[in-house]
Structure 1
């Protein structure tokens, strides 16, 4: 996972990058007639609809850089021809990462040199 909400997961013929930025989340909301957190709650609690799974995966592929026609073909071949619960964990992972980010990176936490930099004044007097 990365800070931009992308995640690479095994899907179809090999690893694929999925990402749902604001644009994809808005499209998901329109396709599923529910906000992204409502869709995520449905995916996590068993109240999902078929489109919650397929639209999340398709839009995640598009956001990850796959052309829309190719993403649609992948979903038709590898999601819609299989039992929905096979693709459910994939949809949960894609949308969860989009909404919550990478679990190992806390927001606002310094990185690199900033994380180890001293807060002591170079003059030594605390100013």
Structure 2
């Protein structure tokens, strides 16, 4: 399997593939004036705050939600104009909070991937490492006692 950072979600009026490749992440950073890790943190903080009935971080931008979803749709294969129209229809005022989990999922998969995306180990790798002692596996030098001078 490849690590595509792709996720399919039931969102808005259907089921859509979302992906944020390097190009989309760069555009996201440019549009939001924040890096993807900060945006991920801000979205998670806003979700946690919402769940506790408190205010989200003061500097979170609505663009964090709308741009992640729009660019995710484009990265998932949708043309730019239909993606923009979908976001305008489903991610507007009064709809941001309900879209937080979607935006968070999209950016998290782009940054961390999903367990199913983990690359497969080459055949025989697990057997080889299982037969090695911790000292052999560590890569550290072994300590040996200095030779005793002969009398």
Sort the TM-score into its range (normalised by shorter chain).
0.7 to 0.9
Structure 1 residues not aligned, in runs of 5+:
120-127
Shift, 1:4, TM fit: 0.4
The whole-number CA distance in structure 2 between the counterparts of 1:20 and 1:115 is 33
| Separation of aligned partners in 2, 1:95 and 1:17 | 13
The correspondence of residues 1-80 of structure 1 with structure 2, limited to 5 A, is 3-46=3-46, 47=57, 48-80=60-92
Shift of 1:79: 1.1
CA RMSD of aligned residues (A): 2.1
Q: TM-score normalised to the size of structure 1?
A: 0.81
On the 8 A contact 2:4/2:117 being kept in 1, the answer is no
Residue deviations 1:8-65, cap 9 Å, x none?
Answer: 0001221100000100000000011011101111111123310000000000000000
Unaligned runs of 5+ in 2: 47-56, 129-151
- Name the structure 1 match of 2:139: none
Q: 1: CA distance between counterparts of 2:26 and 2:6?
A: 17
SS in 2 for 1:17: strand
Given the alignment, which residue of 83, 107, 110 partners 2:121?
110
